[in-house]
Amino acid sequence: MKNLFIASTSTIFGGEYLDYLLPQLQLHFKGCKTILFIPYASPGGISHTDYTFKVNLAFAKINKKVIGLHEFENPIEALKNAEAIFTGGGNTFLLVHQLYKNKVMHVLQQVIENGTPYLGCSAGSNITGISMQNTNDMPIIYPESFKTLAAIPFNLNPHYLDADLQSKHMGETRETRIKEFHAFNNEPVLGLREGSWLEVKGEKIILKGTLTARLFKQKEIPIEIESGTDLNTVI
């Protein structure tokens, strides 16, 4: 049975890394002593070692040990034997490139399907969708494929921002960019606002947090989804 925690962000304004999620993560990773961390997204070019150290400091607050996937000679076996898995944020193009380069995308998909507890934040959440095509990141490297884990039957746009009518910014809004996506693709897209997350238990996909999420479907008017909704009822 799938067991995922899919967060828009690892840090909310003014908070420490993962702090706002730790009470929920203590329950999500109950019974797990060690979490396998996938540091491939490397935010800001941080090294895998330094990124893993940062994550370890956060999870130490709930008595969990973190080991980076880069520390293993055989990442495939490491994923198959993991008690739990966390994929951190950063650049989604880089993350997906590294997952394919190290031949672990399909292995990760398999262990998630088999019930290994999974946490994704930002880029690590992007990859739980059908494809990574609704990432906000710059294409700094070309991945083998845009296809990702398909652990949920739609795509995500983490860090979703509503249009600011007072702003003088003349670029595209998130909604405009998602409409551009739907000119060529028919996968639904969920705009996940900061501080919101999805809990996936088996086939149930429940929106959590205090905010609504915005659901986009091809050739349909976007709708707001209330916290507590099972996304399967609206997709």
User: Among 175, 208, 176, 211, which residue's Cα sits nearest to residue 193?
Assistant: 211
Q: Which tokens in the block code for residue 67?
A: 């080991």
Please tell me the predicted confidence (pLDDT) of residue 142. Answer: 97
The residues carrying an active-site annotation are 122, 137, 159
Q: Rounded mean pLDDT of 19-46?
A: 97
Work out the pLDDT band at 154, boundaries 50, 70, 90: very high
- 37, 88 contact by CB (below 8 A): yes
| Residue the block writes with tokens 């998630």 | 112
CATH class for the domain made up of 3-233: alpha beta
Please tell me the predicted confidence (pLDDT) of residue 13. Answer: 75
Q: Specify the amino acid at residue 97.
A: H
pLDDT in tens, 183-228: 999 999 999 999 999 999 999 999 999 999 999 999 999 999 999 9
- 198, 207 contact by CB (below 8 A): yes
Please tell me the predicted confidence (pLDDT) of residue 163. Answer: 79
CA distances to 23, 100, 105, 164, 206 from 157, rounded to whole Å, are 24, 21, 20, 17, 16
Please tell me the predicted confidence (pLDDT) of residue 141. Answer: 98
pLDDT in tens, 75-116: 999 999 999 999 999 999 999 999 999 999 999 999 999 999
Domain boundaries, the chain: 3-233
